[in-house]
């Protein structure tokens, strides 16, 4: 049996201020638009985010090509320091290789780099080594979707209509 002792870390630089990224992680309408890996989507009505100490975080992801495959994240915020860090303790169900009875911690750090840029750092686990590798790939995909979402915020709106 594989040990559950691996922590994954993913970092990405974004050309936007910390508070914009922080809101993307804490506002349900924003969160539901991007917080799923390719091939999945978040059910907007499932999103519950109460970013304060002891507040709840919950959402459901559904496989795009198989709505019978669902993945539920349910947890609580254990640290919230706007706009620097969010930490949650969560149980994840519906993913092969992840034991829903064993909580994982998700730490999201927002580091100001200057000139309106932010380094986003994701630290999550513990997982088995194989689950951490899969989940790390999932995070890369999720962060690609975050970039696409942020790009829509920076796109000038057509006001001629």
Taking only the tens place, the pLDDT of each residue in 122-149 is: 999 998 888 888 889 999 999 999 999 9
Q: Alpha-carbon Rg of the chain, whole angstroms?
A: 16
In a domain, 161, yes or no: no
In a domain, 146, yes or no: yes
pLDDT band at 1 (very low <50, low <70, confident <90, very high): low
In a domain, 160, yes or no: no
pLDDT band at 155 (very low <50, low <70, confident <90, very high): low
pTM: 0.92
Domain that holds residue 22: 4-154
Q: What is the pLDDT of residues 40-91, one digit of tens each?
A: 999 999 999 999 999 999 999 999 999 999 999 999 999 999 999 999 999 9
Residue 127 belongs to domain with CATH number: 3.30.530.20
Q: At how many degrees (to 10) do helices 129-154 and 18-26 cross?
A: 110
Q: Judging by beta carbons within 10 Å of its beta carbon (0-12, 13-18, 19+), is residue 100 exposed, middle or buried?
A: middle
């Amino acid at each position: 049996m594989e040990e559950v002792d691996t922590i994954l870390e993913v970092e990405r630089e974004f050309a936007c201020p910390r508070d914009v990224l922080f809101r993307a992680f804490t506002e349900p309408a924003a969160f539901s638009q991007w917080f799923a890996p390719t091939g999945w989507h978040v059910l907007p009505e499932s999103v519950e985010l109460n970013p304060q100490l002891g507040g709840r975080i919950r959402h459901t992801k559904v496989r795009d090509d198989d709505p019978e495959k669902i993945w539920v994240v349910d947890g609580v915020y254990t640290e919230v320091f706007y706009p620097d860090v969010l930490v949650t303790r969560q149980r994840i169900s519906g993913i092969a290789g992840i034991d829903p009875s064993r909580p994982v911690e998700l730490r999201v750090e927002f580091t100001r780099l200057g000139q309106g840029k932010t380094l986003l750092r994701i630290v999550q686990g513990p997982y088995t080594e194989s689950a951490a590798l899969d989940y790390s790939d999932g995070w890369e995909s999720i962060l690609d979707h975050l970039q696409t979402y942020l790009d829509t915020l920076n796109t000038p709106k057509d006001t001629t209509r």
